[in-house]
């Protein structure tokens, strides 16, 4: 079964991770723009990061046979720096029209401040302008209230709910999201957010409609194989193959296809990988000849 990880921060991961993901059947990923674990101090730092998502990282993924797409946006934490957020928001239109940018994100609430709400609202306007879906980050703290507030902002903007993916759900927020027209993402982490067994229980309770799972692997304690590992637990729990395929392939494909830029042509063919290929004179090789395991 082909697997789509619709939320993974590959910039923080190694080539070993790409190898393992490809071996586990992951053929397509979405890397949302997020924060780097500590605050950036100037807009140029964002511009270079966005460029790396649509450039070097996409190329790096291709060297392991993985189709890489991204979302571009100002994350909620850094929305609280007024000077920076203004400049970053002004830079976004330069990126939102590019190939392979399949949503605005991840955007939403962190501390749930007024500044965060203003940046969220502005980026929803940009998504409408560029006809893109949006990927919503829900906060770690006061999550239920933050999820409700997010939905209120989306509705106030009149943005189509079927183009909204609300991520990092748990037992309490999932029913709230499913009561809307939005899609519901779940981040399967080793310690926090959600785990495989809890996820399988949610699928048994709520089914597969508009349900999405991801690893959100990043620089924290996380695991880029959490989607295939969740599939294994779902199988153990007797969840059918059709349901699993809906969750790990059909749903993310249907959601991000709304961008009109999710190019999956040829995804069924085994990839031809030439690791001597270069991106702006850089290859992923470090001296060896780049034998690709068959």
Partner 1 sequence: MTVAALQETFEALLAARVGPEAARWLESARAAAAASSLDPMLALYSAAAIRVGRAPLALSAAEHALLAGLLPGLSFERWTIDDVARALLLMARREAGRTDDDFVADATACFEHADAREQQSWLRAVSMWPESARFLPTVIDACRTNIVPVFESIACENPYPGRHFPERNFNQVILKALFNSIALSRVVGLAGRINPELSRMARDYAAERTAAGRSVPADIAMAIGADAGGQEQPS
Judged by the rule CB under 8 A, the positions of this chain that interact with partner 1 are: 37-39, 41, 77, 80-81, 110-113, 140-145, 170-172, 194, 198, 220
Comparing CB distances to partner 1, the nearer of 173 and 215 is 173
Comparing CB distances to partner 1, the nearer of 144 and 278 is 144
Comparing CB distances to partner 1, the nearer of 115 and 162 is 115
CB of 47 to partner 1, least distance (A): 20
Comparing CB distances to partner 1, the nearer of 172 and 242 is 172
CB of 206 to partner 1, least distance (A): 14
Comparing CB distances to partner 1, the nearer of 60 and 77 is 77
CB of 144 to partner 1, least distance (A): 6
CB of 141 to partner 1, least distance (A): 4
* Residue pair 79/35 in contact by the 8 Å Cβ criterion: no
**DSSP 8-state code for residue 167:** -
Pull the structure tokens for residue 163.
């183009």
Output the CA torsion 94→38→58→73 (10° steps). Answer: -30
- What does each C-alpha distance from 122 to 93, 115, 153 come to in angstroms? 12, 11, 11
**DSSP count for the chain of H helices, then E strands:** 11, 8
β-pairing verdict for 67-72 and 101-108 = parallel
Comparing CB distances to partner 1, the nearer of 113 and 282 is 113
Cα radius of gyration (the chain): 18
Rounded Cα distance, 181 and 159, in Å: 11
Contacts of 158 (CB under 8 A, 6+ apart): none
* Residue pair 145/117 in contact by the 8 Å Cβ criterion: no
- What does each C-alpha distance from 106 to 9, 181, 269 come to in angstroms? 11, 19, 31
């Amino acid at each position: 079964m082909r697997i789509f990880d619709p939320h993974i921060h590959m910039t923080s991961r190694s080539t070993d991770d790409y190898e393992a993901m490809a071996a586990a059947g992951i053929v397509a990923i979405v890397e949302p723009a997020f924060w780097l674990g500590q605050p950036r101090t100037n807009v140029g730092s964002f511009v270079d990061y966005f460029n790396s998502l649509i450039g070097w990282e996409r190329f790096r993924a291709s060297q392991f046979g993985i189709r890489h797409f991204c979302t571009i946006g100002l994350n909620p934490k850094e929305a609280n720096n007024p000077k920076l957020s203004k400049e970053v928001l002004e830079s976004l239109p330069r990126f939102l029209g590019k190939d392979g940018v399949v949503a605005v994100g991840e955007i939403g609430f962190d501390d749930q401040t007024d500044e965060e709400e203003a940046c969220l609202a502005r980026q929803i306007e940009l998504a409408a302008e560029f006809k893109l879906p949006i990927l919503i980050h829900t906060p770690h703290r006061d999550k239920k209230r933050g999820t409700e507030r997010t939905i209120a902002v989306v509705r106030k903007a009149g943005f189509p709910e079927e183009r909204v993916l609300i991520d990092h759900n748990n037992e309490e927020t999932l029913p709230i999201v499913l009561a809307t027209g939005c899609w519901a993402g779940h981040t399967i982490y080793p310690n926090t957010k959600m785990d495989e067994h809890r996820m399988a229980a949610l699928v048994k309770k709520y089914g597969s409609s508009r349900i999405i799972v991801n690893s959100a692997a990043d620089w924290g304690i996380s695991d880029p194989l959490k989607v295939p590992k969740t599939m294994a637990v779902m199988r153990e729990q007797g969840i059918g193959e059709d349901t699993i395929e809906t969750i790990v392939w059909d749903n993310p494909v249907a959601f991000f296809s709304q961008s009109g830029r999710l190019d999956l042509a040829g995804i069924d063919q085994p990839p031809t990988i030439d690791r001597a290929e270069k991106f702006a004179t850089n290859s992923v090789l470090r001296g060896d000849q780049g034998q690709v395991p068959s």
